[in-house]
Structure 1
Amino acid sequence: MAECLTGARYLAQSLHDYGVTDVFFMEAILRHTLLELEKLGIRRVLAHSEKGAAYMADGYARASGKVGICMAQSVGAANLAAGLQDAYLARSPVIAFTGHKAIPELQRNAYQEIAHPALYQSVTRFSASIEDASQLPILLRQAFREATGPTPRPAHLDFVGHTGEVMELGPVDEPVAVDTRHGRLPAYRNRPDPDDVLRAARLIDTARQPVAVIGSGAVVAGAADEVRALADTGIPVAYALDGKGLVDDNRESTLGAVGNYSAPYANKVIHDADLILYIGSDTSDMATGNWRAPHPEAAIVQIDADPAEIGRNFPGVTGICGDPGLVLRDLVELLRSDRGKDWIERTHALRRQWLEEVEPRSVSEARPTTVERLCREIERALPEDALLVADTGYSGIWTGTHIKLNGCGQDYLRAAGSLGWGFPAAIGAQCALPGRPVVCFCGDGGFYYHLSELETARRWNLPVTVIVNNNTSLGQDIPGVREVYGAETGRTEDLTHFEPVDFAEVAKAFGCQGIRVEEPGSLADAITNGIASNQPTVIDVVTDPEPRAPDAWFPPPSQ
């Protein structure tokens, strides 16, 4: 007869068996489980906000491919749900645990209690309430299956008890049983239908100017070699920002970032293409320039592990359902090998021309430091195995367009839209990758959100290097505010600007290393030494709020 376990012990052992090494939480939640997790050697990272805990779990999941775990008690459930938006948009395998009052206390104005299902409906693909510990085995396994599905997204379990204690202390009469396949991505690697591959290959071979665009699905599939083989057939490769890092930015065949956060030349190439091959891309507005960059007459081929994504945003696509890496292996074997390099050379010339245009600012000695110079020094100092984590907005544009990655050791994560995500996500990523350097690029506006997590990084000695593009403003919003004011006089800066703050001194007050950079000539040593110091470090770089990040090109409405 199987040993009867408490819910807490069953949950802890299951997380361990799924391969979870860290959990992120706000007290008070699942205290009995946290005790059991300590016995099993799982790190329990107490954050300073529920949103911070959710972002850490998201960064952990994206960096490792494992399921990220975050938790909060009943009163923190709304805050935790808000933190899952980025994980949902980025297709990240995160599971959130919350507590709720027991049935006799519901609908009676119980302290701190509101209904949780509606909070999680739009930010998870699966949410369930557990009213008895006996439900735990089935629903926990289902949460892991859902989180690691073909389109990975967060799941949520709401445990009975304000802190989940009723479930924790209840009995579970069956042995721990987990499917370790669902402990990380991809849970399954499905082969494509050969007829679909052949149909797509024939279409691609008729194209004169094809372009491939990779997204996060290709990254999850680990399809770097396969994408490189595709490029070797004469097809230039671009990426949405969630696909950056998979290919070598220095290769002639690499086009760079496309979509809304791209340099001007990139969307022009997409618009000139007569066929676009989307590989593990969600074909969102961000990836496609508000769905306008592809020419209306261009053929679309779409590869995705989830059939529901094929054709979501473009009609008449030629679809291939399967693991992007496995699909590309079969596809490349069928593609013609005599395409030549004329088209790649043409696209590379456009990219090279733009890089030459921005080069003077990339080597500028101006004060305040140009962001282009900051990006150049990061690129030079970034270790061969580093993970670069970028916040949203300008941080994504600057790093996506101005920092080249090697495609064979360096990786990239960016926020899916939540300002302030970058720093706590980098902490979670560092937990997942203890042997690799993790560098976070954010603006001062984003860093303000969760700078209290400096204490978390110091407490666990997580050697994250945070590079703050400190322009004392929300730089991306300045043009929009000024456009609204137009000829009106007034204090536009009230909407976009902050008082100067020395974040290096703030870091030191938290017990972390802080380095202030006011001269561009000091950047190289500051970044190199900060990364090498093996301690949490903030490099506060004084920049100018006026220069704008590159603007993406969009075709006129008639096109």
Structure 2
Amino acid sequence: MAKTTSDMIVERLLEWGIDTCFGINGDAVNGFFEALRTHADRMRFVHVRHEENAALAAVGYAKFTGRPAACVSTAGPGAVHLLNGLYDAEMDGVPVLAITGMTYHDVIGAHLMQDVESDFLFRDACAFSERVMGPAHAVNATDLAVRKALAARAPAHLAIPADIQSQTEDTNSPKNPPRHTSTAAQVQIPAPPREELERAAEVLNSCTRVAIVAGAGARGAGDALERIADTLGAPIVKAGLGKDAVPDDSPFTTGGMGIIGTRPSHEAFENCDGLLIVGSATAFYEFWPQPGQARGVQIDLNPARLGLRYPIEVGLAGDAAATLTDLMPLLRRKTDRAFLEHAQAGMSQWWDVLREQAHDDVVPMRPQTITWELSELLPDNAIVTSDAGTVTAWGGRLRLRRGMNYSFSGTYCTMGSAVPYAIGAKTAHPDRPVIAFNGDGAMSMGLGELATLAQYRLDITVIVLRNDSLALEVWEQNALLGNPQHGCELHSIDFAKIAEACGLEAFRIEKAGQARNVLSAALAHEGPALVECVVDPYEAPYADTIKNTHADKLVAAYENGEPEARRMARNLLEPARLPMAPAVRHAENELRRFL
């Protein structure tokens, strides 16, 4: 039987090692689904409930494997839905292959239903976006798409008109003889020249207080990072996407950075005279060392990102682990360990404060209760996916041990991404425990995917911090603009009941004393489970790290009529935050007026 365009694309994807596809069918892509059906013994298809989540699941798959997956949608609105998840892949540097349907080839642009030219639409989000013109074009286009996705660490896209998908007859042009392409490929990894490594070592050896920044590009380089940190006596500050670059039980890390980071990380930036940036372009400008304060060296696989966030002196384009290994013999061990030891003492105190907050029996309970107890119970090789909102701050406080992995939508900040990321992670790693850590605003955007977990019996534990608020926006409206909150209240959803209706085992935690036992039972459950955790929306996600300008804006918001001013001021000033955060101390007298 003659092969269709779709057959040829699916078989070429398999030759590239792409054997998993997430998506939803539709009339404009049914020809491609026929090829998925006839290749179902080799191409695994996972049906999700929203096209955006198909792309996000492919992103999760790629983030936790390093290999691309495919995602597929119908034309028009299906393709547009898919696009949002592809921007997530593009901004976090993840290879994904997207396939969308189009209307019939001879009426494109003629105003038929769902007539959107997705090949043009996707070109901003994707490293490659092309319309497949027939069977003769299928293999060539697929090869180019996969190569571009791998080389650029970005999504690539093929748009296939509905009739072309099932077409079998086509003639190759003289410029495109059959079998002239192959799947042989090697992504070029630059290696910094020796003289640049020596320049970098000179900079770092000249400094007495070096801080290291680890981002997504440092994942997989943890051992080398810790050796460098030990040699330089340097604390490792982690950008959000670098949370699992080194585990949180490492003696060298001060945890996260930025407005949802830790105070020891801020102090390291405020007092360093040297900065080594490894695989990070995080944009918290106001929290980086001041320009000129520290001599800077940066390592990044993408040369275009060198010098993007800080005025470095030396930029090293290369793989993080390999470059750090080459740099290591050129560095001199620092005998003065005071800078690192101060950071370590600060981090020990920071964890003590978090522990104290976690065991407070206030109602509604603190989000820190769930973070602390979940950290204690996480299985050794767990994968954790997190979401956008205040849950990003609380997820950043999870204490990852060695062998654990973590990611979230770090640059695009896609709400509702934790569960589809988890679907991708569990599909890729069926034998590893997977936990999706959500807020209620994010979870309510993708409730349909609970049914996906049940449909495929995906053994994923979904944690939902329910505070009936878009709480991050409350704090941002207050602390960034000085305005009272508006438009942030959420109608209460009984997530446990919805989970049960979808076929999941459901749990609820309303008091701190219940947390450990309930979380333990949920993690032990065989099959998908959801834990609804009722928490305080007005617990400050960043009291330790705000600047004086933020504290002044908070005071202005309270003066301007913030309805929860008393409760929020109390949480900022409460005794468990000892010693008091500098910015809170700066505004202490003004904040106390609202108690």
Q: TM-score, normalised by structure 1?
A: 0.90
1:317-466 matches, within 5 Å, as 317-400=313-396, 402-406=397-401, 408-416=402-410, 417-466=413-462
Report Cα offsets for 1:383-416 as digits up to 9, x if no partner: 110011110121111111x21111x210111123
Shift of 1:382: 0.4
- Name the counterpart of 1:11: 9
**SS of equivalent to 2:260:** coil
1:110-149 matches, within 5 Å, as 110-149=112-151
1:235-384 matches, within 5 Å, as 235-281=234-280, 283-285=281-283, 289-290=284-285, 292-297=287-292, 298-384=294-380
CA distance in 1 between counterparts of 2:169 and 2:390 reads 48
**SS of equivalent to 2:447:** helix
CA distance in 2 between counterparts of 1:486 and 1:412 reads 33
Output the amino acid matched with 1:146: K
Shift of 1:484: 9.9
Output the amino acid matched with 1:139: A
CA distance in 2 between counterparts of 1:451 and 1:95 reads 25
Aligned length: 536
Alpha-carbon distance change, 426 to 167 in structure 1, aligned in 2, over 3 angstroms: farther
Report Cα offsets for 1:78-137 as digits up to 9, x if no partner: 111122121111111111111223442022112210222442132112211211221222
Root-mean-square deviation (Å): 2.5
**SS of equivalent to 1:303:** strand
**SS of equivalent to 1:388:** strand
Q: Decide whether the 8 Å contact of 1:268 with 1:293 is kept in 2.
A: no
Among candidates 508, 512, 523, match of residue 504 of structure 2 = 512
> Is the deviation greater in 457-466 or in 113-122?
113-122
Shift of 1:15: 2.1
- Name the counterpart of 2:108: 106
- Name the counterpart of 1:223: 221
Alpha-carbon distance change, 314 to 338 in structure 1, aligned in 2, over 3 angstroms: closer
Output the amino acid matched with 2:84: A
**SS of equivalent to 2:465:** strand
**Structure 2 gaps, min length 5:** 551-595
Shift of 1:433: 1.0
CA distance in 2 between counterparts of 1:37 and 1:107 reads 32
Alpha-carbon distance change, 485 to 321 in structure 1, aligned in 2, over 3 angstroms: closer
Q: Decide whether the 8 Å contact of 1:100 with 1:161 is kept in 2.
A: yes
Among candidates 515, 540, 558, match of residue 548 of structure 1 = 540
**SS of equivalent to 1:515:** strand
Q: Decide whether the 8 Å contact of 1:395 with 1:441 is kept in 2.
A: yes
**SS of equivalent to 2:11:** helix
CA distance in 1 between counterparts of 2:203 and 2:259 reads 27
- Name the counterpart of 2:557: none
Q: Decide whether the 8 Å contact of 2:119 with 2:158 is kept in 1.
A: no
1:95 is the counterpart of 2:93: no
Report Cα offsets for 1:234-271 as digits up to 9, x if no partner: 22211101011121212221111112431234223113
- Name the counterpart of 2:23: 25
Shift of 1:9: 2.4
Report Cα offsets for 1:197-228 as digits up to 9, x if no partner: 11101110001111111111121xx2121112
Larger RCO, structures 1/2 (Cα 8 Å, 6+ apart): 1
CA distance in 2 between counterparts of 1:384 and 1:52 reads 27
- Name the counterpart of 2:86: 84
Output the amino acid matched with 2:254: L
Alpha-carbon distance change, 556 to 299 in structure 1, aligned in 2, over 3 angstroms: farther
Q: Decide whether the 8 Å contact of 1:388 with 1:441 is kept in 2.
A: yes
CA distance in 2 between counterparts of 1:506 and 1:214 reads 39
Identity %, equivalent residues? 27
CA distance in 1 between counterparts of 2:478 and 2:472 reads 11
**SS of equivalent to 1:74:** coil
Alpha-carbon distance change, 487 to 74 in structure 1, aligned in 2, over 3 angstroms: closer
Report Cα offsets for 1:460-495 as digits up to 9, x if no partner: 11111100001111111123456799798xxx56x1
CA distance in 1 between counterparts of 2:522 and 2:184 reads 37
**SS of equivalent to 2:18:** coil
Shift of 1:377: 0.5
Q: Decide whether the 8 Å contact of 2:3 with 2:168 is kept in 1.
A: no
- Name the counterpart of 2:583: none
Report Cα offsets for 1:7-52 as digits up to 9, x if no partner: 2222222222222232101112211221233032x22111111111
Shift of 1:357: 3.3
Report Cα offsets for 1:255-307 as digits up to 9, x if no partner: 111124312342231132112111111x231xxx2255222112221111121
Output the amino acid matched with 1:261: I
CA distance in 1 between counterparts of 2:311 and 2:56 reads 35
Shift of 1:168: 7.2
Shift of 1:194: 1.4
Output the amino acid matched with 2:436: C
CA distance in 1 between counterparts of 2:441 and 2:199 reads 49
**SS of equivalent to 1:522:** helix
Shift of 1:451: 1.0
**SS of equivalent to 1:465:** strand
Alpha-carbon distance change, 61 to 31 in structure 1, aligned in 2, over 3 angstroms: same
1:532 is the counterpart of 2:524: yes
**SS of equivalent to 1:213:** strand
> Is the deviation greater in 202-211 or in 315-324?
315-324
CA distance in 1 between counterparts of 2:302 and 2:96 reads 18
CA distance in 2 between counterparts of 1:425 and 1:106 reads 34
Alpha-carbon distance change, 32 to 205 in structure 1, aligned in 2, over 3 angstroms: same
1:165-176 matches, within 5 Å, as 165-166=165-166, 174-175=178-179
- Name the counterpart of 1:160: 161
Report Cα offsets for 1:509-539 as digits up to 9, x if no partner: 0111111112222211222221221211100
Q: TM-score, normalised by structure 2?
A: 0.85
Alpha-carbon distance change, 140 to 350 in structure 1, aligned in 2, over 3 angstroms: same
**Structure 1 gaps, min length 5:** none
- Name the counterpart of 2:464: 468
Output the amino acid matched with 2:267: K
> Is the deviation greater in 540-549 or in 334-343?
334-343
Q: Decide whether the 8 Å contact of 1:437 with 1:463 is kept in 2.
A: yes
Output the amino acid matched with 2:53: G
Alpha-carbon distance change, 171 to 509 in structure 1, aligned in 2, over 3 angstroms: farther
Q: Decide whether the 8 Å contact of 1:7 with 1:170 is kept in 2.
A: no
> Is the deviation greater in 99-108 or in 386-395?
99-108
Shift of 1:161: 2.2
Output the amino acid matched with 1:217: G
Shift of 1:453: 0.7
CA distance in 2 between counterparts of 1:278 and 1:49 reads 37
